[in-house]
Structure 1
Amino acid sequence: MNRVVAWAPGWQRLRSGRLGAGWMVVAALFFALMGVFVKVGGRSFGALELLFYRTLFGALMLGGVMVARRRNPLTPNWRGHLQRSLIGYVSMGLLFYALTHLPLATAITLNYTSSLFFTLICLVRLKEPLTRTAALALAVGFGGILLLLRPTFASDMWFAAAMGLASGASAGFAVFQVRELGKMGEAPWRVVFWFFAISSVFGAVLLLLGPGFTPLSAETFWPLLGVGLTGMCGQLAMTRAYKDGSKFLVASFAYLTVAFSAVLGVLLWGDVLPLEALAGILLIVFSGVLAARR
């Protein structure tokens, strides 16, 4: 009985949508599940094709909501959207490649180094002062990267690990572009919509000029649907979290994606990471939380 009473307030907040930063916990779970579907879909599709369906599903779903709410997608900032979409597309493509070749937690963690690279970009491009907190975050984070990469560079997975790290670097650039678009007055929903729409066009062109589309079947379609649904739900929950919650708490809770991914990797594929890799993951998560406080 006491357990029911204890859970009731949280359940009521979930039903009413008043979760605040807690929405990031929901988003983290969906993003971890998206990684699972990407790994499963990787048995039948390449990374570019998985990414195409991910962005196409997002564009159609968000576009439908925009039509229903009569929101105008037109923007005068086409150049900024093209730059953000191209960088974001490259980042997600690299992440999807890493997800299909690395343990789930390793690929996700490498992508989540984006906060470190974003900090570096702000230091260089905006000439922000290097605070003690930022310096500590960078030192700890890049130390964690070395620990995490060491087992993969000692195996045949070094290329996938390099692609995962590159996804984090390009994601840092993408976050910087989103920040610049926000300064131009662009609404978050418009930024997300054009990212999905432009990325879908990129993906279609690359697939038509390259390997083409893999024929769909009942057995192969469900992972694609899973990637689209979980990715879109994660995006919506993350947007709600940044709207309603404390930015520091939201940024900290985002790293739960790493924890969820580690648990799912063990349960579904028996992923066992060396101690040095686990230490690297913990250091990267700690540095990310520090970077959010700078």
Structure 2
Amino acid sequence: MPRRFNPTHWQLGSYWMLLAGVGFAIMGACVKAGAQRFTTGELVFYRSAFGFISIAALIWWQGKPLQTPLLDMQMRRAGVGFGALLLFFYAIAHLPLATAITLNYTSPMFLALLSPWLLRGEHRAHGRQRQIFNICVVGGFIGVCLLLQPVFYRDQLLAGSLGLLSGLGAALAYVHVKQLGMQGEPDWRTVFYFTLLCTVTSGLWMLFDRITPLRWQDIPLLSGLGLSATCSQLAMTRAYRTGHTLTVASLAYSTIVFATLIGVIGWGETLSMHEVAGMLLIIGFGVLSTRQTHT
């Protein structure tokens, strides 16, 4: 039976996205450190393989069933999510990093546009409340632009278009996550199928690209990458399953705030006034969005 959502639980459910934001920021730091030695395909593989092995071991240990009547939807979610990831990596390779991240983080705005049609089973906000949700999503994105300062050039139209498509693909993947949750699919099963497809596909990618010999010194970094990615995926899946979609979308911008703080602490980066203003906008609109789940 499809699950019925209790609006009084939405705010708490949405806060899982903050935990996911911390994890994704740590994952980004691991990717930045690992990129000096490993290719993109290898990093995707190790990130996915760790999660797949961990979830598979948990499923085997607890005797959880993998059979699901929603296998087609699970594979669509995994395929769309992996496609968005590939587009994002292409954008990273051909655009300034800040520009690629900004384009990928258009996903909350696509969610705001798509949710009235694709998430009809969720309690829908109306009138002023719906307008405030949309303002929070757009306002948070303005904060992202202030913080990252994306730059575009004329010869980057293709890469920019694909980067924008990565944002749309991510939004569609989150819609699938929400729909699976509304049908009663557990978080671990959704993450299992996603990591399974990503592991197999990125493993094939490695075969045609490059395989870097592993050293003992690489284990802590790759373990941190896999652990942070797995915990983030589980937390994000739970956030979209149990929280209000647009509130979770607003809180998704927190990843950039946490990543910026890690850069300040770990790499000694400094913040300008407009970057501080961008962080405050993201935080402010995120708080405003969570308050709307009470009304």
TM-score by length of 1: 0.71
**Matches of residues 109-148 of structure 1 in structure 2 within 5 Å?**
111-123=104-116, 125=118, 131-137=130-136, 139-140=138-139, 143=142
- Cα gap change, 1:39 to 1:188, in 2 (>3 Å): same
1:258 Cα deviation from its structure 2 partner: 2.4
Q: Distance in 2 between matches of 1:237 and 1:221?
A: 24
- Residue pair 1:146, 1:280 contacting (<8 A) in 2 also: yes
Structure 1 stretch 45-54 or stretch 248-257: which is displaced more?
248-257
- Residue pair 2:47, 2:222 contacting (<8 A) in 1 also: yes
2:69 paired with 1:76: yes
- Residue pair 1:109, 1:258 contacting (<8 A) in 2 also: no
- Residue pair 2:17, 2:235 contacting (<8 A) in 1 also: yes
2:48 paired with 1:49: no
Q: When the two structures are aligned, how many residues end up with a matched partner?
A: 274
1:84 Cα deviation from its structure 2 partner: 0.6
1:36 Cα deviation from its structure 2 partner: 0.3
**Matches of residues 169-188 of structure 1 in structure 2 within 5 Å?**
169-188=168-187
1:57 Cα deviation from its structure 2 partner: 0.6
Equivalent residue letter for 2:201:
F
| Aligned-partner SS, 2:151 | helix
- Residue pair 2:119, 2:175 contacting (<8 A) in 1 also: no
1:121 Cα deviation from its structure 2 partner: 1.6
2:31 paired with 1:38: yes
- Cα gap change, 1:29 to 1:42, in 2 (>3 Å): same
The superposition leaves residues 182-204 of structure 1 with CA deviations (integer Å, 9 ceiling, x where unpaired) of: 34432222111111112211212
2:186 paired with 1:193: no
Q: Distance in 2 between matches of 1:185 and 1:217?
A: 42
- Residue pair 2:254, 2:283 contacting (<8 A) in 1 also: no
- Residue pair 1:41, 1:50 contacting (<8 A) in 2 also: yes
The superposition leaves residues 196-222 of structure 1 with CA deviations (integer Å, 9 ceiling, x where unpaired) of: 1122112122222x3142222234443
Identity of aligned residues (%): 39
Question: Which residue of 18, 21, 36 maps to 1:28?
Answer: 21
1:238 Cα deviation from its structure 2 partner: 4.9
- Cα gap change, 1:205 to 1:40, in 2 (>3 Å): same
1:76 Cα deviation from its structure 2 partner: 2.8
- Cα gap change, 1:242 to 1:181, in 2 (>3 Å): closer
Aligned to 1:257: 255
Equivalent residue letter for 1:51:
V
Q: Distance in 1 between matches of 2:155 and 2:32?
A: 18
In structure 1, list runs of 5 or more residues that go unmatched.
1-18
The superposition leaves residues 20-39 of structure 1 with CA deviations (integer Å, 9 ceiling, x where unpaired) of: 87665444322211110011
- Residue pair 1:115, 1:288 contacting (<8 A) in 2 also: no
Q: Distance in 1 between matches of 2:27 and 2:161?
A: 21
- Cα gap change, 1:262 to 1:269, in 2 (>3 Å): same
Equivalent residue letter for 1:79:
D
Q: Distance in 2 between matches of 1:74 and 1:37?
A: 34
Equivalent residue letter for 1:179:
K
In structure 2, list runs of 5 or more residues that go unmatched.
1-11
Q: Distance in 2 between matches of 1:145 and 1:61?
A: 33
Q: Distance in 1 between matches of 2:118 and 2:170?
A: 16
- Residue pair 1:23, 1:240 contacting (<8 A) in 2 also: yes
Q: Distance in 2 between matches of 1:262 and 1:106?
A: 15
Structure 1 stretch 34-43 or stretch 166-175: which is displaced more?
166-175
1:161 Cα deviation from its structure 2 partner: 7.2
Q: Distance in 2 between matches of 1:123 and 1:250?
A: 15
- Cα gap change, 1:280 to 1:249, in 2 (>3 Å): closer
